C-alpha cells in the first residue's frame, strides 16, 4: 500500500499518469478542464490549463495498472512526507498551466516530492526524437553523408579548440617577456619620477 508522500505511476495507453499519495486512499494530481488526465500524444493537450484535484486513487486509476514509483530517491532525497502532503493539499483546485515538455503531470508530482520538477517521459521522448532524426537522415541522405557531416562537425570543433589552445599557449609564452620588460623599465621610471615631479612643481609655481 502507498504511504503519504509516495509517487503513484499509473499506466495509460501510450503514456504514464502521475499522482501524489496524500493518505486515506486519496491522491493529488493534474486534471484537464474536462476532468480527464493528460495523454502526451494528443497535440491539443500539449499546452493547456488544468486543475489540481484530490481524488480517490481507485477512481483515478480505474482499470489501469499502477505502482508506487519513488525510484528517484536513489539519486535525490525526498522532502519530508508531511511537507509533501501539506504542499500537495495546498494546491488543490488551483489552475496550473500544463506544458508537455516543460511541466506535465510527472513534473508536477516530482516537484512535490523532491522540490525539483523532472520528467523521465520527456527525456525519453527527446532522445527518441533524436534517434528518429538520425535514422531518417541515414535513410534519405545516406549513411556516408551523415557520417561525413558528423566528421566535419567534429573537425570544426577540434579546429576551434586547437586554435583556442594555441592562442592560450602564445599568451602564456608572451607573459614572461612582458613581465621582464616591465621589470627592466621599472628602474628608469623610478629615476625619472623625481625629475618629473620637480618639473610639475616648478610649472605650478610659475603659473
Residue 131 has pLDDT above 50, yes or no: no
pLDDT bucket at 96, cuts 50 / 70 / 90 = confident
User: Based on the domain organization, do 49 and 110 belong to the same domain?
Assistant: yes
CATH number at 41 reads: 3.90.1720.10
Residue 165 has pLDDT above 70, yes or no: no
Q: Which of 103, 32, 95, 109 is nearest to 66 (CA)?
A: 109
Q: How far from 111 is each of 70, 76, 78, 83, 195, CA to CA, in Å?
A: 12, 12, 10, 12, 71
Is 132 a domain residue? no
Catalytic, out of 17, 48, 50, 107: 17
User: Based on the domain organization, do 58 and 121 belong to the same domain?
Assistant: yes
Q: What is residue 39's three-state secondary structure? A: coil
29 catalytic, yes or no? yes
Number of domains observed in the structure of the chain: 2
User: Based on the domain organization, do 103 and 195 belong to the same domain?
Assistant: no
Q: Which pLDDT does position 54 carry in this prediction?
A: 97
| Domain closes at, from 62, 93, 127 | 127
User: Based on the domain organization, do 56 and 96 belong to the same domain?
Assistant: yes
Is 185 a domain residue? yes
105 catalytic, yes or no? yes
User: Based on the domain organization, do 97 and 177 belong to the same domain?
Assistant: no
Domain enclosing residue 118, as ranges: 7-127
Q: Which pLDDT does position 128 carry in this prediction?
A: 46
Between 100 and 81, the more confident residue is 81
Q: Which pLDDT does position 168 carry in this prediction?
A: 62
Q: Which pLDDT does position 184 carry in this prediction?
A: 67
User: Based on the domain organization, do 12 and 114 belong to the same domain?
Assistant: yes
Catalytic, out of 29, 48, 97, 107: 29
Q: Which of 2, 34, 125 is nearest to 18 (CA)?
A: 2
Catalytic, out of 48, 50, 97, 105: 105
CA gyration radius, the chain: 32
Q: What is the mean pLDDT of residues 138-167?
A: 62
Q: Which pLDDT does position 159 carry in this prediction?
A: 74
| Domain closes at, from 127, 153, 185 | 127
User: Based on the domain organization, do 68 and 154 belong to the same domain?
Assistant: no
pLDDT in tens, 29-66: 998 765 555 444 443 445 567 889 999 999 999 999 99
Biggest alpha carbon distance in the chain? Answer: 103
Residue count (the chain): 207
Between 131 and 82, the more confident residue is 82
User: Based on the domain organization, do 17 and 96 belong to the same domain?
Assistant: yes
Q: How far from 46 is each of 10, 16, 49, 154, 203, CA to CA, in Å?
A: 19, 15, 10, 35, 79
Is 11 a domain residue? yes
Amino acid at each position: 500500500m502507498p504511504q503519504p508522500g509516495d509517487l503513484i505511476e499509473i499506466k495509460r495507453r501510450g503514456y504514464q499518469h502521475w499522482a501524489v499519495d496524500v493518505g486515506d486512499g486519496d491522491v493529488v494530481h493534474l486534471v484537464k478542464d474536462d476532468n480527464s488526465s493528460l495523454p502526451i500524444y494528443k497535440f491539443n493537450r500539449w499546452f493547456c490549463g488544468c486543475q489540481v484535484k484530490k481524488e480517490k486513487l481507485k477512481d483515478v486509476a480505474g482499470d489501469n495498472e499502477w505502482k508506487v514509483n519513488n525510484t528517484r530517491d536513489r539519486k535525490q532525497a525526498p522532502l519530508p512526507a508531511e511537507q509533501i502532503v501539506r504542499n500537495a493539499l495546498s494546491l488543490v483546485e488551483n489552475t496550473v498551466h500544463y506544458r508537455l515538455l516543460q511541466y506535465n503531470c510527472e513534473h508536477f508530482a516530482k516537484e512535490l516530492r523532491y522540490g525539483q520538477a523532472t520528467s523521465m517521459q520527456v527525456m525519453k521522448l527527446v532522445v527518441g526524437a533524436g534517434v528518429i532524426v538520425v535514422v531518417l537522415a541515414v535513410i534519405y541522405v545516406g549513411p556516408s553523408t551523415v557520417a561525413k557531416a558528423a566528421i566535419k562537425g567534429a573537425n570544426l570543433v577540434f579546429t576551434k579548440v586547437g586554435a583556442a589552445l594555441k592562442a592560450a599557449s602564445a599568451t602564456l609564452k608572451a607573459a614572461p617577456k612582458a613581465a621582464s620588460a616591465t621589470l627592466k623599465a621599472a628602474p628608469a621610471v623610478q629615476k625619472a619620477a623625481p625629475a618629473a615631479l620637480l618639473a610639475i612643481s616648478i610649472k605650478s609655481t610659475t603659473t
